[in-house]
Amino acid sequence: MKIVDVRCAIIADTPVVRVDCDNGLSGFGQIEDVREYRAEYVKQQVQFYRKFIVGLDPTDHQHVMVKINRFVGFKPWGSVVSAIDVALWDLLGKHFGLPVHKLLGGKVRDKVRVYNTNTGEPLKNYAPEDYYEVARKRKEHPYGFKIFKFGVGFHGGILDGVPESYYGTTLGGPHPSRGHLTESGLKYLVRCVEALRNALGDGVGLALDCGPGFSVPSAVKFSRAVEGFNILWLEDLITGDYTPYTEVKAYKIVRMKSTVPIHTGEQICTRYGFKELIEREAVDIIGPDPADCGGLSEIKWIAEYADLHQILIAPHSGFNGPIGLMASVHVTSTFPANFIAMEFPFAQNKIWWDGGIVKGLPQPLVEDGYVKVPEKPGLGIELDENIARKHVREGDEDFFETNAPK
Ligand SMILES: [Mg+2]
């Protein structure tokens, strides 16, 4: 059995990777993001990696990944390697007639808890009343989520729009602003968190995506100020999205001084990127993204290693569609008991969810905040080529031609 081709197409605004074998089987993976500035980059990268893995035996999965995972980098530069890893697992599952979770060691849970970050009701002005309204609406979503995450603080440049909220420089997104909170900035943040807790009520997990950007004293002060609101975790207070480093020492200081669990990790790649963070017990919870950290193989290692250090895991998901969702569900179903929940990815292009591009998704997709673990071979889903062809970007049509060299 040999890999004969690797290719990529933009389908409904999402880059999809396909790995073909000489026996006619194909596996599929999905790239982390739909943003335009990444689309052309990922297509070129797929071509770059192609020459390293065509001709190899995909049943030697680790051998294939060793050939390319030395090129992996901090988010988003690891996304192509991660997508190829997912496509290989899908391919192997189809070849052996087993669901991906069995190839990864087997599931320990039949359904995976997912947390909500976005159901399409954006916050308009990030005022406490706005947080209250949006939280109330999200709580009523038919998927029945029991954990909600909201961006506060420096996340997404929110504090840039709040006058006199911090001492620092506004850089303009997506570059993360950094700074030290003013008294009014801290009070504003606490009012937002209070509004969220009031809207969600008791018995619902509330996580806050905070940065990156807090100074260490501001991070500590904020964590203590929201102590009474039963926060599930404070994410990326110091570094995170768009920062190609981790600041392990700073996280350790914040963790030691906070009673609210501290979380980070969405931008970090490979088990080696997590090593120091885990060994120094610098956070309570890690949030690697299987779409960026090197794929299912890497996140499995990271989850197990964290568990050995009593560190919890709540993976981020940059996947913008159901291929990525199912890949994440398979791998998290095999995680040890340190697993809390994984982020549910709402694709920006809704056609991925209700347009029939993917067949075999659980129905309902999410029930009471859980996704059922698929039991069909591979990822347990199939691309409907006829429908996918209608949404493929012009110039990418040969993606669907079996084993055609690209
Ligand atoms: Mg985040």
**Same domain (yes/no): 126, 273:** yes
CA of 240 to the centre of ligand 1 (A): 7
Counting DSSP H helices and E strands in the chain, the numbers are 13, 16
- The Cα 281–Cα 301 span in angstroms is 16
- The Cα 104–Cα 164 span in angstroms is 50
CA of 20 to the centre of ligand 1 (A): 33
User: Do 292 and 65 meet the contact criterion of CB atoms below 8 Å apart?
Assistant: no
**Same domain (yes/no): 195, 228:** yes
**Same domain (yes/no): 195, 276:** yes
CA of 94 to the centre of ligand 1 (A): 33
- The Cα 124–Cα 297 span in angstroms is 39
Is 334 inside any structural domain?
Answer: yes
CA of 384 to the centre of ligand 1 (A): 32
**Tokens 């347990």 found at:** 380
**Same domain (yes/no): 387, 317:** no
Closest CA to 58 of 94, 33, 31, 34: 94
- The Cα 159–Cα 258 span in angstroms is 22
Which two tokens mark 190?
Answer: 């606490």
User: Do 154 and 171 meet the contact criterion of CB atoms below 8 Å apart?
Assistant: no
Is 405 inside any structural domain?
Answer: no
User: Do 199 and 131 meet the contact criterion of CB atoms below 8 Å apart?
Assistant: yes
Is 406 inside any structural domain?
Answer: no
CA of 267 to the centre of ligand 1 (A): 9
User: Residues for the chain: how many in total?
Assistant: 406
Mention every residue, 6+ apart, whose C-beta is less than 8 A from residue 97: 377
Range of the domain at 396: 3-97+383-400
CA of 287 to the centre of ligand 1 (A): 8
CA of 264 to the centre of ligand 1 (A): 8
**Same domain (yes/no): 31, 121:** no
CA of 158 to the centre of ligand 1 (A): 13
**Same domain (yes/no): 247, 333:** yes
**Same domain (yes/no): 140, 13:** no
Which two tokens mark 325?
Answer: 């969702």
**Same domain (yes/no): 61, 162:** no
Closest CA to 322 of 360, 294, 378: 360
**Same domain (yes/no): 112, 222:** yes
Is 387 inside any structural domain?
Answer: yes
Q: Is 197 exposed, middle or buried (0-12, 13-18, 19+ CB in 10 A)?
A: buried
**CATH code, domain with 168:** 3.20.20.120
CA of 176 to the centre of ligand 1 (A): 12
* Distances from the Cα of 167 to the Cα of 180, 189, 214, 231, angstroms: 5, 15, 10, 26
Which two tokens mark 20?
Answer: 């073909």
Mention every residue, 6+ apart, whose C-beta is less than 8 A from residue 199: 131, 132, 133, 135, 136, 139
Is 284 inside any structural domain?
Answer: yes
User: Do 144 and 367 meet the contact criterion of CB atoms below 8 Å apart?
Assistant: yes
* Distances from the Cα of 330 to the Cα of 107, 112, 317, 334, 365, angstroms: 8, 9, 13, 7, 14
**Same domain (yes/no): 138, 274:** yes
**Same domain (yes/no): 89, 193:** no
φ and ψ of 405, to 5 deg: -65, 140
CA of 248 to the centre of ligand 1 (A): 17
Per-residue pLDDT of the chain (406 residues; tens, 9 = 90+): 999 999 999 999 899 999 999 999 999 999 987 676 677 788 889 999 999 999 999 999 999 999 999 999 998 888 999 999 999 999 999 999 999 999 999 999 999 999 999 877 788 889 999 999 999 999 999 999 999 999 999 998 899 999 999 998 888 877 788 999 999 999 999 999 999 999 999 999 999 999 899 999 999 999 999 999 999 999 999 999 889 999 999 999 999 999 999 999 999 999 999 999 999 999 999 999 999 999 999 999 999 999 999 999 999 998 888 999 999 999 999 999 999 999 998 767 889 988 899 999 999 999 999 999 999 999 999 999 999 999 999 999 999 987 644 4
As for how many domains the chain has, the answer is 2
**Same domain (yes/no): 326, 195:** yes
User: Do 287 and 328 meet the contact criterion of CB atoms below 8 Å apart?
Assistant: no
User: Do 317 and 328 meet the contact criterion of CB atoms below 8 Å apart?
Assistant: yes
CA of 97 to the centre of ligand 1 (A): 36
- The Cα 373–Cα 366 span in angstroms is 11
CA of 106 to the centre of ligand 1 (A): 28
CA of 209 to the centre of ligand 1 (A): 5
- The Cα 327–Cα 74 span in angstroms is 20
Predicted structure pTM score = 0.96
Which two tokens mark 242?
Answer: 């768009």
Task: Give the β-pairing of 147-151 and 205-209.
Answer: parallel
**CATH code, domain with 65:** 3.30.390.10
CA of 184 to the centre of ligand 1 (A): 24
CA of 103 to the centre of ligand 1 (A): 29
CA of 171 to the centre of ligand 1 (A): 18
Mention every residue, 6+ apart, whose C-beta is less than 8 A from residue 5: 18, 19, 20, 50, 54, 403, 404, 405, 406
CA of 81 to the centre of ligand 1 (A): 21
pLDDT given for residue 125 in this prediction? 86
